[in-house]
Amino acid sequence: MSSHLRGANSLDAYRGWFANKVSLKVLSVRTISTSTDRATIEAVVFSTDRVNGQTLESTVTEQFVLVPEAGSWHIDQVTRK
């Protein structure tokens, strides 16, 4: 995660997003746009989660904005579609 995204969410919040995650399977990844200082990527995943004692499956599409930081690309923003 970029320094911006790390500052927007605590480590506990980040851990909480995955606390009930059973599995993730990447179905597709595609580049939406790129430049020297920004890239937007779309990922579609099949997600299995535990919710209220039940296992729920869903297909989720998210866009990730990546920015260069400290010599590599980091996720700066995530938007669910």
Cβ contact 63:54 at 8 Å: no
Sequence ranges of the domains in the chain: 3-80
**Torsions phi, psi of 71, nearest 5?**
85, 5
Residue-by-residue pLDDT tens, the chain, 81 positions: 999 999 998 889 889 888 999 999 999 999 999 999 999 999 999 999 999 999 999 999 999 999 999 999 999 999 998
pTM above 0.75, yes or no: yes
Query: Between β-strands 21-34 and 39-51, what pairing exists: parallel, antiparallel or unpaired?
Result: antiparallel
Pick the CATH number of 3-80 from 3.40.980.20, 3.10.450.50, 3.65.10.10, 1.10.10.10: 3.10.450.50
